[in-house]
Structure 1
Amino acid sequence: MKRVQGKVAIVTGGASGIGLASSQLMAKEGAKVVIADYNLEGAEKAAQELVSQGFEAQAMFLDASKEESIKEVVEKTVEAYGTLNVMYNNVGGTNLKKDLDIVNMDMSEWDRGMKMNLDSVVYGCRYAIPHMIKAGGGSIINTASMAAFASDSVRTVYGASKAAVVQLTKYVATQYGKQNIRANAIAPGLILTPAAKNNLPEEMLHMFQKYNALAYHGEPEDIGYTVVFLASDESKFITGQTIQVEGGHYLANPTVPDMRELMAKKQ
């Protein structure tokens, strides 16, 4: 089933993890995909693999911290394919050694984090929207995070910037809905990307799973399928929303897992 047949899509941060899974799934569902990433070698490898399987994809270099680089990717995409239908603003992250509590955080990380997580989305929208208007409409998808909805002892700039992405998504949806442009966000919980697997100790992974409503962690494809849905016409009456894809981690009263353990001991 070709759910996004013929659509032209840009995926920023598309060389690995969630971006790579989303690029692969959209290409397999019929989209012409531009994989834009700072890791150009990784993006080229991903694009070549898709092309070798008969799908349409190409790689482009993207430095998401620079407005001009985002603008260039959008313009080159339209040059190559004549239009733009889907913009997936997926670049983001933080430096856990610097993004600490508000008193102790490195303020240079505040500036860098806002630029990477929020400004990149702003410019992705800013430069994609005019081309989508010419195309008669389009779908903007932004990667937010569950950190936008639940606070933490650290990751101050990450949570604040992702909360801003949630609200920015609503503004874009409101401002351009009458021109048939939809804007939605996805808020992942812990997803087993290569970065998560390589950097999180096993104990921490078990801790997250303990508090999930489901008995397992999310995979990059779980976000990718949500991206395909939001890119497709199946979601044509959905806009301004943030879909939480997090395995029910934040669903229950936080005492539930501990209460289960307590009750099990008493039996």
Structure 2
Amino acid sequence: MGRVENKVALVTGGASGIGLASAQLLAQEGAKVVVADFNLEGAEKVAADIKAQGFEATAVFLNAGEEESIKEAVEFTVATYGQINVLYNNVGITNVRKDLDVVNIDLDEWDKVMDVNLKSVLLGARFAIPHMQKVGGGSIINTASMAAFASDSIRSAYGASKAGVAHLTKYIATQYGKDHIRCNAIAPGLIMTPAAKNNLPQAMLDIFTKYNALPYNGEAEDIGYAVVYLASDESKFMTGQTLQIEGGHYMANPTIADLNALAGK
């Protein structure tokens, strides 16, 4: 307890999944948390649940595709709690029906994904950094994805946007490190969020498990614990890094699982 005591954290996309787990864990470790989401009702429920546990949280509406909405969420955080020490840029979208291969991708979808997944990270940092400078520093955490490092047959915009997040993280870290502002990213593999559980058939989940080094898929809390670490002073000498939290899915020769099966292991 108390790993982020007295810090103020803004968590975007906090109404569900990874954002929800991160908001809860940050609050449990002593942070005052602002839960920002397009789903304001969901964000308010998360904040109410946190407060019911005896911790501090509030909610704010956020449209990550609009500059003014991002600015308002940051200003709301500062107005409510007097400062902002942690910004977790966690909003992300994907649409497998429109985000296809480079010949067939819907170009309007490309622009939308870049705005929500990448530009929102730039804008969140843009508006939070001046407030962090006033209080002597802070921690910016961005959600990238293993799609930033491994390509796919579809989701071209998603992968490109997340690769941009990973690299933008380095730029923010380089430009504002002397102000005691750290910036790191997290690249999750498959995480069993409600969206994954509700939308992916068991056969697909089994394929992911088959190619993991570990015999299971990740949970939202697995990312949330990393967020707490990066928000805390425990990571005070880490900046510009992207933590790959993916169960070992991408680290080995991709034929290993099939070769082991062939050998009867």
* TM-score normalised by structure 2 residue count: 0.99
Aligned match of 1:213: 213
Query: Which amino acid is the alignment partner of residue 219 of structure 1?
Result: E
Aligned match of 1:90: 90
Q: Are 1:199 and 2:199 an aligned pair?
A: yes
- The alpha-carbon deviation at position 72 of structure 1 amounts to 0.3
Aligned match of 1:60: 60
Q: Are 1:153 and 2:153 an aligned pair?
A: yes
CA-to-aligned-CA distance 1:165-204 (integer Å, 9 cap, x gap): 0110000000000000000000000000000001111100
SS in 1 for 2:30: coil
Aligned match of 1:80: 80
Q: Distance in 1 between matches of 2:190 and 2:213?
A: 13
SS in 2 for 1:5: coil
- The alpha-carbon deviation at position 93 of structure 1 amounts to 1.6
- The alpha-carbon deviation at position 99 of structure 1 amounts to 0.3
Q: Distance in 2 between matches of 1:194 and 1:124?
A: 25
Aligned match of 1:233: 233
Identity of aligned residues (%): 71
Query: Which amino acid is the alignment partner of residue 82 of structure 1?
Result: G
Q: Are 1:6 and 2:6 an aligned pair?
A: yes
SS in 2 for 1:184: strand
CA-to-aligned-CA distance 1:17-43 (integer Å, 9 cap, x gap): 000000000000000000000000000
Q: Distance in 2 between matches of 1:208 and 1:53?
A: 35
Q: Are 1:179 and 2:179 an aligned pair?
A: yes
Aligned match of 1:20: 20
Q: Distance in 2 between matches of 1:92 and 1:53?
A: 28
- The alpha-carbon deviation at position 247 of structure 1 amounts to 0.2
Q: Distance in 2 between matches of 1:205 and 1:49?
A: 30
* TM-score normalised by structure 1 residue count: 0.99
Q: Distance in 2 between matches of 1:176 and 1:107?
A: 33
Aligned match of 1:123: 123
SS in 2 for 1:264: coil
Q: Distance in 2 between matches of 1:203 and 1:76?
A: 44
Q: Distance in 1 between matches of 2:251 and 2:119?
A: 30
Q: Distance in 2 between matches of 1:153 and 1:91?
A: 23
Q: Distance in 2 between matches of 1:110 and 1:46?
A: 31
Q: Distance in 1 between matches of 2:87 and 2:3?
A: 16
Aligned match of 1:29: 29
- The alpha-carbon deviation at position 259 of structure 1 amounts to 0.4
SS in 2 for 1:150: coil
- The alpha-carbon deviation at position 52 of structure 1 amounts to 1.2
Q: Distance in 2 between matches of 1:53 and 1:225?
A: 18
CA-to-aligned-CA distance 1:115-143 (integer Å, 9 cap, x gap): 01001101000000000000100000000
Query: Which amino acid is the alignment partner of residue 71 of structure 1?
Result: K
Aligned match of 1:246: 246
Runs of 4+, deviation exceeding 4 Å: none
Q: Distance in 2 between matches of 1:135 and 1:209?
A: 44
Query: Which amino acid is the alignment partner of residue 168 of structure 1?
Result: L
Q: Distance in 1 between matches of 2:4 and 2:73?
A: 21
- The alpha-carbon deviation at position 2 of structure 1 amounts to 0.8
